Amino acid sequence: MERNLHRQLANMKKSLFDQGYLDHEQFTQLEELQDEANPNFVEEVVTLYYRDSARLIQNIEQALEKNPLDFAKLDNYMHQFKGSSCSIGARKLKNECTQFIEYCKTGNGEGCKRTFQQLKKEYSSLKKKLEHYFQFARQVGPLEKACRPK
Amino acid sequence: MGSECSSVVAEELHVLAVDDCLVDRKVIERLLKISSCKVTAVESGTRALQYLGLDGEKSSVGFDGLKVNLIMTDYSMPGMTGYELLKKIKSSSNLREIPVVIMSSEKVLARIDRCLEEGAEEFLVKPVKLSDVKRLRDIILRGDENDEKKGSRKRKLQDLSPTSSLARDLTPLKPASAASKQSRLKRPRLKNTD
Protein backbone atom coordinates (compact mmCIF):
# COMPACT_ATOMS: atom_id res chain seq x y z
CA MET A 1 0.00 0.00 0.00
CA GLU A 2 2.92 2.32 0.79
CA ARG A 3 4.38 1.73 -2.64
CA ASN A 4 1.17 2.91 -4.21
CA LEU A 5 1.25 6.18 -2.29
CA HIS A 6 4.87 6.68 -3.24
CA ARG A 7 3.99 6.14 -6.87
CA GLN A 8 1.15 8.64 -6.60
CA LEU A 9 3.50 11.20 -5.10
CA ALA A 10 6.08 10.57 -7.80
CA ASN A 11 3.40 10.98 -10.45
CA MET A 12 2.29 14.27 -8.96
CA LYS A 13 5.81 15.51 -9.12
CA LYS A 14 6.34 14.22 -12.64
CA SER A 15 3.20 16.00 -13.72
CA LEU A 16 4.51 19.29 -12.32
CA PHE A 17 7.73 18.77 -14.29
CA ASP A 18 6.00 17.67 -17.50
CA GLN A 19 3.59 20.57 -17.48
CA GLY A 20 6.47 22.96 -17.06
CA TYR A 21 5.51 24.33 -13.66
CA LEU A 22 8.73 23.16 -12.05
CA ASP A 23 12.25 22.90 -13.31
CA HIS A 24 13.26 19.27 -12.91
CA GLU A 25 16.91 19.95 -12.17
CA GLN A 26 16.48 22.69 -9.59
CA PHE A 27 13.58 21.11 -7.73
CA THR A 28 15.39 17.78 -7.56
CA GLN A 29 18.49 19.59 -6.31
CA LEU A 30 16.45 21.08 -3.46
CA GLU A 31 14.98 17.69 -2.59
CA GLU A 32 18.48 16.28 -2.36
CA LEU A 33 19.11 18.71 0.47
CA GLN A 34 16.51 16.96 2.59
CA ASP A 35 17.43 14.32 5.11
CA GLU A 36 15.96 12.77 8.21
CA ALA A 37 16.83 15.81 10.29
CA ASN A 38 15.39 18.17 7.67
CA PRO A 39 12.64 16.20 5.94
CA ASN A 40 10.57 19.23 4.95
CA PHE A 41 13.28 21.54 3.73
CA VAL A 42 11.74 22.10 0.29
CA GLU A 43 8.37 22.90 1.79
CA GLU A 44 10.06 25.36 4.15
CA VAL A 45 11.85 27.09 1.30
CA VAL A 46 8.69 27.32 -0.78
CA THR A 47 6.72 28.66 2.19
CA LEU A 48 9.44 31.24 2.77
CA TYR A 49 9.35 32.13 -0.91
CA TYR A 50 5.61 32.80 -0.92
CA ARG A 51 5.82 34.80 2.25
CA ASP A 52 8.77 36.87 1.10
CA SER A 53 7.64 37.44 -2.47
CA ALA A 54 4.14 38.63 -1.46
CA ARG A 55 5.79 41.92 -0.58
CA LEU A 56 7.46 42.13 -3.99
CA ILE A 57 4.24 41.33 -5.81
CA GLN A 58 2.56 44.13 -3.94
CA ASN A 59 5.37 46.57 -4.77
CA ILE A 60 5.15 45.70 -8.44
CA GLU A 61 1.37 46.05 -8.35
CA GLN A 62 1.65 49.52 -6.88
CA ALA A 63 4.43 50.54 -9.22
CA LEU A 64 2.31 49.49 -12.21
CA GLU A 65 -0.40 51.91 -11.12
CA LYS A 66 1.88 54.89 -11.33
CA ASN A 67 1.89 57.20 -14.31
CA PRO A 68 4.39 57.40 -15.92
CA LEU A 69 5.80 53.97 -15.17
CA ASP A 70 9.22 53.77 -13.58
CA PHE A 71 10.69 50.96 -15.68
CA ALA A 72 13.99 50.94 -13.84
CA LYS A 73 12.20 50.29 -10.57
CA LEU A 74 9.95 47.65 -12.12
CA ASP A 75 12.99 45.99 -13.65
CA ASN A 76 14.71 45.94 -10.28
CA TYR A 77 11.71 44.43 -8.47
CA MET A 78 11.24 41.84 -11.15
CA HIS A 79 14.89 40.82 -11.08
CA GLN A 80 14.55 40.14 -7.38
CA PHE A 81 11.36 38.19 -7.92
CA LYS A 82 12.89 36.23 -10.78
CA GLY A 83 15.88 35.31 -8.62
CA SER A 84 13.81 33.74 -5.86
CA SER A 85 11.50 32.06 -8.34
CA CYS A 86 14.49 30.43 -10.00
CA SER A 87 15.78 29.28 -6.66
CA ILE A 88 12.65 27.25 -5.99
CA GLY A 89 12.61 25.92 -9.55
CA ALA A 90 9.47 27.74 -10.65
CA ARG A 91 9.88 27.43 -14.40
CA LYS A 92 6.76 29.03 -15.85
CA LEU A 93 7.05 31.87 -13.38
CA LYS A 94 10.66 32.44 -14.34
CA ASN A 95 9.61 32.73 -17.99
CA GLU A 96 6.93 35.26 -17.13
CA CYS A 97 9.54 37.26 -15.24
CA THR A 98 11.90 37.19 -18.19
CA GLN A 99 9.10 38.42 -20.44
CA PHE A 100 8.25 41.21 -18.04
CA ILE A 101 11.88 42.30 -17.88
CA GLU A 102 12.02 42.41 -21.68
CA TYR A 103 8.99 44.70 -21.73
CA CYS A 104 10.67 46.92 -19.15
CA LYS A 105 13.71 47.22 -21.36
CA THR A 106 11.61 48.34 -24.31
CA GLY A 107 9.45 50.57 -22.15
CA ASN A 108 6.31 48.65 -23.04
CA GLY A 109 3.91 49.45 -20.20
CA GLU A 110 0.99 47.52 -21.64
CA GLY A 111 3.18 44.50 -22.14
CA CYS A 112 4.31 44.73 -18.52
CA LYS A 113 0.78 44.94 -17.20
CA ARG A 114 -0.45 42.09 -19.36
CA THR A 115 2.45 39.87 -18.38
CA PHE A 116 2.00 40.72 -14.74
CA GLN A 117 -1.63 39.55 -14.79
CA GLN A 118 -0.48 36.29 -16.30
CA LEU A 119 2.31 36.06 -13.73
CA LYS A 120 -0.06 36.51 -10.79
CA LYS A 121 -2.29 33.72 -12.06
CA GLU A 122 0.69 31.44 -12.44
CA TYR A 123 1.98 32.42 -8.98
CA SER A 124 -1.34 31.46 -7.31
CA SER A 125 -1.77 28.35 -9.37
CA LEU A 126 1.69 27.07 -8.51
CA LYS A 127 1.13 27.82 -4.85
CA LYS A 128 -1.98 25.63 -4.77
CA LYS A 129 -0.29 22.82 -6.63
CA LEU A 130 2.72 22.88 -4.34
CA GLU A 131 0.59 23.04 -1.20
CA HIS A 132 -1.25 19.98 -2.43
CA TYR A 133 2.01 18.22 -3.25
CA PHE A 134 3.60 18.93 0.13
CA GLN A 135 0.48 17.95 2.00
CA PHE A 136 0.55 14.60 0.24
CA ALA A 137 4.31 14.27 0.73
CA ARG A 138 3.87 14.71 4.48
CA GLN A 139 1.41 11.83 4.52
CA VAL A 140 3.71 9.61 2.54
CA GLY A 141 6.81 10.68 4.44
CA PRO A 142 6.26 8.93 7.79
CA LEU A 143 5.45 5.70 5.93
CA GLU A 144 8.77 5.99 4.12
CA LYS A 145 10.60 6.21 7.43
CA ALA A 146 8.69 3.27 8.81
CA CYS A 147 9.44 0.87 6.00
CA ARG A 148 12.95 2.00 5.00
CA PRO A 149 15.70 0.06 6.77
CA LYS A 150 18.29 2.21 8.61
CA MET B 1 54.53 24.06 1.72
CA GLY B 2 55.08 27.79 1.81
CA SER B 3 56.62 29.14 4.96
CA GLU B 4 54.21 32.04 4.61
CA CYS B 5 51.37 29.62 5.28
CA SER B 6 49.62 30.49 8.48
CA SER B 7 47.33 27.54 8.07
CA VAL B 8 44.11 27.41 9.95
CA VAL B 9 43.62 24.02 11.46
CA ALA B 10 39.90 23.61 11.58
CA GLU B 11 37.51 20.74 11.58
CA GLU B 12 35.05 22.55 9.40
CA LEU B 13 35.23 25.44 7.02
CA HIS B 14 33.45 28.53 8.20
CA VAL B 15 31.70 30.26 5.35
CA LEU B 16 30.25 33.74 5.40
CA ALA B 17 27.36 33.89 2.94
CA VAL B 18 26.10 37.28 1.80
CA ASP B 19 22.81 37.62 -0.06
CA ASP B 20 19.92 40.07 0.17
CA CYS B 21 17.46 37.39 -0.97
CA LEU B 22 16.00 35.49 1.96
CA VAL B 23 15.19 32.38 -0.06
CA ASP B 24 18.71 32.21 -1.47
CA ARG B 25 20.21 32.65 1.99
CA LYS B 26 18.21 29.71 3.25
CA VAL B 27 19.26 27.54 0.33
CA ILE B 28 22.95 28.43 0.43
CA GLU B 29 22.96 27.85 4.17
CA ARG B 30 21.59 24.37 3.64
CA LEU B 31 23.98 23.63 0.78
CA LEU B 32 26.89 24.58 3.02
CA LYS B 33 25.69 22.71 6.08
CA ILE B 34 25.19 19.56 4.06
CA SER B 35 28.75 20.01 2.85
CA SER B 36 29.95 20.04 6.47
CA CYS B 37 30.60 23.76 6.66
CA LYS B 38 29.75 26.18 9.40
CA VAL B 39 27.68 29.01 8.01
CA THR B 40 27.05 32.61 8.91
CA ALA B 41 24.52 34.15 6.56
CA VAL B 42 24.07 37.92 6.35
CA GLU B 43 21.86 40.09 4.19
CA SER B 44 24.23 42.80 3.00
CA GLY B 45 27.80 43.82 2.32
CA THR B 46 27.64 46.24 5.21
CA ARG B 47 26.65 43.49 7.61
CA ALA B 48 29.37 41.28 6.18
CA LEU B 49 32.03 43.92 6.85
CA GLN B 50 30.70 44.42 10.35
CA TYR B 51 30.91 40.70 10.97
CA LEU B 52 34.43 40.59 9.62
CA GLY B 53 35.39 43.41 11.91
CA LEU B 54 36.60 45.56 9.06
CA ASP B 55 34.98 48.58 10.62
CA GLY B 56 36.94 48.18 13.81
CA GLU B 57 40.11 47.01 12.07
CA LYS B 58 40.18 43.76 13.99
CA SER B 59 41.33 40.45 12.57
CA SER B 60 39.07 38.30 10.43
CA VAL B 61 37.53 36.68 13.44
CA GLY B 62 33.81 37.10 13.56
CA PHE B 63 31.97 38.16 16.65
CA ASP B 64 31.54 34.59 17.73
CA GLY B 65 35.26 33.98 17.50
CA LEU B 66 35.24 31.85 14.38
CA LYS B 67 37.70 32.58 11.62
CA VAL B 68 36.09 32.94 8.20
CA ASN B 69 37.60 30.62 5.60
CA LEU B 70 35.47 31.56 2.62
CA ILE B 71 33.11 34.34 1.64
CA MET B 72 30.32 33.69 -0.84
CA THR B 73 28.50 36.77 -1.94
CA ASP B 74 25.72 37.61 -4.32
CA TYR B 75 26.67 40.16 -6.95
CA SER B 76 23.47 42.21 -7.20
CA MET B 77 22.60 43.63 -3.83
CA PRO B 78 21.16 47.01 -2.90
CA GLY B 79 23.58 49.43 -1.24
CA MET B 80 26.89 47.64 -1.58
CA THR B 81 27.19 45.20 -4.48
CA GLY B 82 29.11 41.95 -4.19
CA TYR B 83 31.78 43.49 -6.38
CA GLU B 84 32.18 46.45 -4.03
CA LEU B 85 32.36 44.08 -1.08
CA LEU B 86 35.01 42.07 -2.90
CA LYS B 87 37.09 45.19 -3.46
CA LYS B 88 36.86 46.23 0.17
CA ILE B 89 37.92 42.77 1.32
CA LYS B 90 40.83 42.57 -1.10
CA SER B 91 42.11 45.97 -0.08
CA SER B 92 42.15 45.04 3.60
CA SER B 93 45.44 43.66 4.86
CA ASN B 94 43.58 41.55 7.42
CA LEU B 95 41.00 40.10 5.11
CA ARG B 96 42.49 39.95 1.63
CA GLU B 97 43.64 36.36 1.99
CA ILE B 98 40.09 35.11 2.49
CA PRO B 99 38.85 33.62 -0.78
CA VAL B 100 35.77 35.38 -2.12
CA VAL B 101 33.31 33.74 -4.48
CA ILE B 102 30.77 35.80 -6.39
CA MET B 103 27.33 34.40 -7.18
CA SER B 104 25.08 35.86 -9.82
CA SER B 105 22.01 34.85 -11.79
CA GLU B 106 23.33 36.80 -14.77
CA LYS B 107 26.16 35.53 -16.92
CA VAL B 108 27.63 38.83 -18.00
CA LEU B 109 31.16 38.25 -19.21
CA ALA B 110 32.31 41.77 -18.40
CA ARG B 111 31.00 41.30 -14.88
CA ILE B 112 32.74 37.95 -14.52
CA ASP B 113 36.05 39.34 -15.77
CA ARG B 114 35.81 42.35 -13.49
CA CYS B 115 35.29 40.13 -10.46
CA LEU B 116 38.07 37.73 -11.32
CA GLU B 117 40.45 40.61 -11.98
CA GLU B 118 39.63 42.04 -8.60
CA GLY B 119 40.67 38.75 -7.01
CA ALA B 120 37.51 36.67 -6.78
CA GLU B 121 38.22 32.99 -6.45
CA GLU B 122 35.31 31.97 -8.63
CA PHE B 123 32.19 33.28 -10.25
CA LEU B 124 29.22 30.99 -9.81
CA VAL B 125 26.05 31.22 -11.82
CA LYS B 126 22.90 30.90 -9.75
CA PRO B 127 21.15 28.82 -8.73
CA VAL B 128 24.18 27.41 -6.95
CA LYS B 129 24.39 23.64 -6.91
CA LEU B 130 25.60 21.20 -4.33
CA SER B 131 28.38 20.19 -6.71
CA ASP B 132 29.56 23.83 -6.85
CA VAL B 133 29.78 23.98 -3.07
CA LYS B 134 31.57 20.66 -2.81
CA ARG B 135 34.06 21.73 -5.44
CA LEU B 136 34.69 25.02 -3.65
CA ARG B 137 35.20 23.23 -0.39
CA ASP B 138 37.80 20.95 -1.97
CA ILE B 139 39.55 23.89 -3.56
CA ILE B 140 39.74 25.81 -0.31
CA LEU B 141 40.89 22.79 1.67
CA ARG B 142 43.49 21.50 -0.71
CA GLY B 143 44.39 24.67 -2.52
CA ASP B 144 44.29 24.80 -6.27
CA GLU B 145 47.75 23.64 -7.33
CA ASN B 146 47.19 24.47 -10.95
CA ASP B 147 46.31 27.95 -9.91
CA GLU B 148 49.55 28.20 -7.96
CA LYS B 149 51.66 27.12 -10.89
CA LYS B 150 50.06 29.02 -13.68
CA GLY B 151 48.81 32.05 -11.79
CA SER B 152 45.64 31.71 -13.78
CA ARG B 153 42.06 32.44 -13.01
CA LYS B 154 39.09 30.21 -13.33
CA ARG B 155 35.84 31.08 -14.96
CA LYS B 156 32.93 28.74 -14.54
CA LEU B 157 29.92 29.15 -16.74
CA GLN B 158 27.30 26.50 -16.19
CA ASP B 159 26.22 26.30 -19.78
CA LEU B 160 29.64 25.61 -21.25
CA SER B 161 30.42 22.06 -22.28
CA PRO B 162 32.55 19.98 -19.90
CA THR B 163 35.60 20.28 -22.12
CA SER B 164 35.58 24.04 -22.02
CA SER B 165 34.16 24.57 -18.58
CA LEU B 166 37.36 26.15 -17.33
CA ALA B 167 38.51 29.12 -19.32
CA ARG B 168 42.02 30.03 -18.33
CA ASP B 169 42.68 33.66 -18.83
CA LEU B 170 46.34 34.55 -18.76
CA THR B 171 45.96 38.32 -18.98
CA PRO B 172 48.48 39.97 -16.65
CA LEU B 173 46.98 40.83 -13.32
CA LYS B 174 47.02 44.25 -11.70
CA PRO B 175 49.58 44.59 -8.87
CA ALA B 176 46.91 44.60 -6.15
CA SER B 177 45.39 41.40 -7.45
CA ALA B 178 48.79 39.78 -7.91
CA ALA B 179 49.67 40.47 -4.30
CA SER B 180 46.38 39.08 -3.14
CA LYS B 181 46.99 35.98 -5.24
CA GLN B 182 50.17 35.09 -3.44
CA SER B 183 48.74 35.53 0.00
CA ARG B 184 45.55 33.79 -1.01
CA LEU B 185 47.15 30.40 -0.65
CA LYS B 186 46.81 30.26 3.10
CA ARG B 187 44.43 27.41 3.36
CA PRO B 188 42.95 25.61 6.30
CA ARG B 189 43.77 22.01 6.96
CA LEU B 190 41.44 19.53 8.51
CA LYS B 191 42.43 17.74 11.64
CA ASN B 192 40.66 14.64 10.45
CA THR B 193 40.63 13.79 6.78
CA ASP B 194 37.41 12.41 5.34
- Residues of chain A contacting B25 with CB distance shorter than 8 Å: none
C-alpha A100/C-alpha A78 separation (Å) is 8
Classify residue B167 by its DSSP letter: -
Q: Is residue B69 part of a domain?
A: yes
pLDDT computed for residue B183 by the predictor = 39
Domain that holds residue B178: 2-185
C-alpha B187/C-alpha A82 separation (Å) is 36
Q: How far is B32 from chain A (nearest CA, A)?
A: 10
The model's pLDDT over B85-144, given as tens digits with 9 standing for 90+, comes to: 999 999 999 899 999 999 999 999 999 999 999 999 999 999 999 999 999 998 888 764
- Residues of chain B contacting A49 with CB distance shorter than 8 Å: 23
**How far does Cα A106 stand from its chain's mean position?**
26
Q: How far is B104 from chain A (nearest CA, A)?
A: 9
Number of structural domains (chain B) is 1
pLDDT computed for residue B85 by the predictor = 98
Q: Is B108 on the interface with A (CB under 8 A)?
A: no
More confident residue, B164 or A37: A37
Q: Is residue B65 part of a domain?
A: yes
Q: Is residue B164 part of a domain?
A: yes
ipTM of this complex: 0.90
Intra-chain end-to-end CA distance of chain B, in Å: 21
- In chain B, % of residues over pLDDT 90: 55
Q: Could B26 and A52 be called an inter-chain contact, meaning their C-beta atoms sit closer than 8 Å? A: no
What's the topology of domain A2-140? Answer: Four Helix Bundle (Hemerythrin (Met), subunit A) (1.20.120)
Nearest to A91 by CA among A130, A135, A61, A40: A130
Q: Could A45 and B27 be called an inter-chain contact, meaning their C-beta atoms sit closer than 8 Å? A: yes
Question: What is the pLDDT tens value at each position of chain A, 150 positions in all?
Answer: 678 889 999 999 999 999 999 999 999 999 999 999 999 999 999 999 999 999 999 999 999 999 999 999 999 999 999 999 999 999 999 999 999 999 999 999 999 999 999 999 999 999 999 999 999 999 887 555 555 454
Q: Could A29 and B30 be called an inter-chain contact, meaning their C-beta atoms sit closer than 8 Å? A: no
In this complex, which of B23, B34, B130 lies closest to A87 when CB atoms are compared? Answer: B23
Q: Is A54 on the interface with B (CB under 8 A)?
A: no
Average pLDDT over residues B62-88: 89
**Summary mean pLDDT of chain B:** 76
C-alpha A74/C-alpha A68 separation (Å) is 12
pLDDT computed for residue A20 by the predictor = 96
Q: How far is A69 from chain B (nearest CA, A)?
A: 21
Domain locations along chain A: 2-140
Q: Is A80 on the interface with B (CB under 8 A)?
A: yes
The model's pLDDT over B9-18, given as tens digits with 9 standing for 90+, comes to: 446 899 999 9
What φ, ψ does residue B39 adopt, rounded to 5°? -130, 135
Q: Where are the alpha helices (DSSP H) in B75-144?
A: 82-90, 109-117, 130-142
pLDDT computed for residue B167 by the predictor = 40
Domain with residue B9: its CATH number is: 3.40.50.2300
Q: Is B23 exposed, middle or buried (0-12, 13-18, 19+ CB in 10 A)?
A: buried
Q: Which residues pair with B190 in a beta bridge?
A: B10
Q: How far is A40 from chain B (nearest CA, A)?
A: 12
- Residues of chain A contacting B105 with CB distance shorter than 8 Å: 79, 82-83, 86
What φ, ψ does residue B153 adopt, rounded to 5°? -115, 155
Q: Could B22 and A29 be called an inter-chain contact, meaning their C-beta atoms sit closer than 8 Å? A: no
Q: Could A52 and B22 be called an inter-chain contact, meaning their C-beta atoms sit closer than 8 Å? A: yes
pLDDT computed for residue B96 by the predictor = 93
Q: How many CB atoms lie within 10 A of CB B42?
A: 19
Q: Is residue B193 part of a domain?
A: no
- How many CA atoms does the CB half-sphere of A74 hold within 13 Å? 30
Tell me chain B's radius of gyration from C-alpha atoms. 15
